[in-house]
Structure formats: structure tokens, C-alpha cells
Amino acid sequence: MDCKVKDLSLADFGRKELDIASHEMPGLMAVRRRYAGEKPLKGLKITGSLHMTIQTACLIETLAELGAQVRWASCNIFSTQDHAAAAIAARGIPVFAWKGETLEEYWDCTYRALTFPDGSGPDQIVDDGGDATLLIHWGVKGEEDPSFLTRKGESEEEEVILALLRRVAEKDPGHWHKVASHVRGVSEETTTGVHRLIRMAENGELLFPAINVNDSVTKSKFDNIYGCRHSLTDGIKRALDVLLAGKEAVVCGYGDVGKGCAEALLNERARVTVTEIDPICALQACMAGLRVSTVEDMLPVGDVYVTATGNCHIITAEHMMKMKDQAIVCNIGHFDNEIEVARLKAVPGIKITSIKGSECPVQKFTFPDGHSIYLLAEGRLVNLGCATGHPNFVMSCSFSNQTLAQIKIAKENLEKKVYFLPKELDEEVARLHLAHFNARLTELTQEQADYIGVRKEGPYKAENYRY
């Protein structure tokens, strides 16, 4: 079969959980029903690079139901749920993903998801963090300037990517120009992936149109906040089953994800401190009754550290050298560069003990002075590395937006820039989820619509929505 998964015999279990998920993903199911007849994605090849979970399997089946030919890989080496991948493979959709991939395997899976049986690439891409988009862009750069592929990578992962691209260049020179020329567009799931797209667009390097799904309100103000509120402590508890009440927790970054994380830890009755660079977010944390300080200030007392910035070098090796004995360090940001794992491993005399394997990675690092810290998911996003990520309902909001974005790319000839989805669609996604809570909207009268200066049928919040 044109797939690579851990264990196909898990397909039945995956199917059972997919059936459960369909009842908890009302928006995605409604979008699927609305467009199943029209099949707006008919004849289109779609590649996905997005955590291969039960919820993503529902998205994949929706895209297939709308007519697409789909191939899929995960966007993280630890986030695949093997029974979800098995269920998708069992119905004949090519998927290349398993929990605990090596970096070489991960990038080979991404390449295979981008390569259809006739050797062609996708018409459209669903990306989460931008790795599929990056592989195409670096491939094109290498075809324009072969020295780009023979340079020294800045990390182990870059070396893996460059080695893969050199192999492809040898096998099929000009492959990536052909692939890039056929891509109609990419819909990007997450904050960090959007940052990458915006930088490429600003530098005039964007090779195809992009839709910023993350900044639909019904994505980032739900998935990033309420999804992390649900799944952060799930990951920490599955990793170490530690009591969080009364502990000093440090959340680095108080954006959407950080807000969800802080609330989750407060719900566990931890004492939460936030670190921030942005005065507005810092002030929000103060107004939420949280202490705002720095990582350095918290080192003598911090018990649990969570990075949620989308930035790099947040928790350094020097920080971890000075942490309390038995401190717990984890990341929930998209990439694994928020915690300096490579430099931690290079500390002279460090002793590394694996507590749990790739099912829920937990490592103990013991320093020469005898104190130890615990690192979860090898510094990769802990909610998907040590738990199952966000629940169905929250991902229904995100993936309703993803599906609508893919339909937009299919129907419109977009320019090579980064688009938002219109506010009307955002409110429609919200509407599709209200019935699940027996919520009833109030009807706006024409007089009231005129009074606040909106159309009777919406959109309603004229200004940018701020949490």
C-alpha cells in the first residue's frame, strides 16, 4: 500500500474513535454536509502536513468527501496517534506518519506526502508550521543555486533537509520548480507557520498564495486558548503524574496559547508567573492576578516551566543549570527551539536518563552538581507529544476554517500573498457550533443594527477582536 504507518491492525480502534469524534465536531460535519454534493475539491490533489490525530483524520475524510485526492504526513515526530493513521491508511488514503519518527523519517514522510503516484506535486497544501511549504521553497532555491544545498545546515534538522533535497536533485533535477508552479495555495494552521509565511511574503519569496487560518478568531481564540487550556496539563500529568496545586509554575509568553496555559495551571491551583516581552500582554497577565517576572528571577523557586512564545532560546542551558532540583521543563510552542535542548545535552558531565519512551517522552537530566530536571517530549510540543492534543470540539472550529480555506483556494485565483478568511465565515463557523451548547442567539432589530452601525445579518464585531 502507498502508505507508511506503525500498525494497520489499529484501524478498527481508530475508526471507533473517528465515529465518536464525528459527534463532537459539529462545525466540520456541517461543512462536510454542505459541500458534499458540490464537491468543490473534485480533481484536486491536496497534501497535508498536520499532526496525524483522530481530529485530523476527520479533516482528511472531509477533504476526501469534498472530492480531493489526499496524501498526508504529520508535522511533528511525536504527535501522530497511530490508530488514527491506521484508520486513514485502511480506507486507502496515503498517509506517512507514526509516533516516534526520526528526523530523517519525518522529512522522508513529508516528501512522500508531497509526491503523488505520477511524480507530480499537490495542487493545494494544508500546512501546520510550514514544513511542507519550506521543503518546496528550499527545493526551488537549491535548483536555482546548487550551493544552497551543499552549505552547512544550522542544525541537525537542517542537515537532514539538505541531504534529502540533494537526493531529490540528483534523481529529478527541476522537480521542485514543477511542483511549485502547480501549487494553487496553502492554508496555514498555526501562529509560527503564519510568521514564516509573512516573512517570505515581505521578502518577495512566496511562491504561491497562502491563507492564514490561525488568525480566524474561531481558530486562534479557541484552539490556541481553550485547546491548550485543556491539553497542556493533560500532557504534564501523563508524563509525570505530578501534583500541580501549590507549585510555582512559570508560563513563558502570555499570548493566546500562554493565556490558555496559565488558566489551565490556575485551575490546578498552581501559583502562576508569566514572562512576557509585550507590555500589553504583560498588563493583561497582571489584570488576571498573575505575577509577571523573568525566567532568571524564577529559577530559585520555579517547579514547572512552560514555553509558549513561538520564539527561540526562551529556556537556555544556563537557566536549566540553575533550576531547582526536580524542576519540570516543557514546551507547547510549535517548534523545539524554545528550550535549548541541544546545548543542554552538551553540558559537560550531564547525565541523561530516559524515564519514558516515544509514547510519552520523559527524560531526566542530572547535572554535575547532582541536581536534576525533567524535560518532556524532548522539548517538542508537550500536549501532542505526551498527550493527545486538543479535544474534538475545539479542533472542529479550527478545521471548519481549514476546509473553508481549502475551498477558497480551489474556487479563487489568488495572488501570491497572505490572506485572511472573511469575518462572515468566522461568524458562520461560530454559529455552526452554538447548537452543541443549546446556545440561543438574540435577533438584532434593524433599529439596533443601525444604532451600532452593522448590517442586521452581521458581521457584528466591526473592530478587530482582541481577547
Name the residues annotated as catalytic: 51, 74, 79, 128, 189, 214, 219, 223-224, 228, 334, 390, 398, 402
32 vs 221, which CB is nearer to ligand NAD? 221
Residues sharing a CB contact under 8 Å with residue 354, sequence separation 6 or more, in sequence order: 362, 363
User: Residue 276: which of ligand 3DD, ligand NAD, none does it interact with, CB under 5 to 8 A by kind?
Assistant: ligand NAD
Closest approach of ligand NAD to the CB of residue 127, in Å: 12
Closest approach of ligand 3DD to the CB of residue 85, in Å: 12
Task: Name the site residues for ligand NAD (rule: CB under 6 A).
Answer: 190-192, 220, 223-224, 227-228, 252-258, 275-278, 281, 308-311, 314, 332-334, 381, 383, 389
52 vs 168, which CB is nearer to ligand 3DD? 52
Residue 22 CB coordination number (10 Å): 16
Closest CA to 159 of 94, 111, 197, 103: 103
* d(C-alpha 436, C-alpha 27), whole Å: 9
Closest approach of ligand 3DD to the CB of residue 273, in Å: 24
User: Is-contact 463 57, C-beta < 8 A?
Assistant: no
Beta strands in 266-326 (DSSP E): 271-275, 291-292, 304-307
Residues sharing a CB contact under 8 Å with residue 163, sequence separation 6 or more, in sequence order: none
4 vs 334, which CB is nearer to ligand 3DD? 334
Residues sharing a CB contact under 8 Å with residue 313, sequence separation 6 or more, in sequence order: 337, 338, 340
Beta strands in 298-350 (DSSP E): 304-307, 327-331
User: Residue 429: which of ligand 3DD, ligand NAD, none does it interact with, CB under 5 to 8 A by kind?
Assistant: none
Closest approach of ligand NAD to the CB of residue 323, in Å: 17
* d(C-alpha 93, C-alpha 315), whole Å: 40
User: Residue 257: which of ligand NAD, ligand 3DD, none does it interact with, CB under 5 to 8 A by kind?
Assistant: ligand NAD
Closest approach of ligand 3DD to the CB of residue 118, in Å: 29
Strand partners, 212: 188
128 vs 263, which CB is nearer to ligand 3DD? 128
Task: Name the site residues for ligand 3DD (rule: CB under 6 A).
Answer: 51, 53, 55-56, 128, 189-190, 223, 227, 334, 384, 389-390, 395, 398
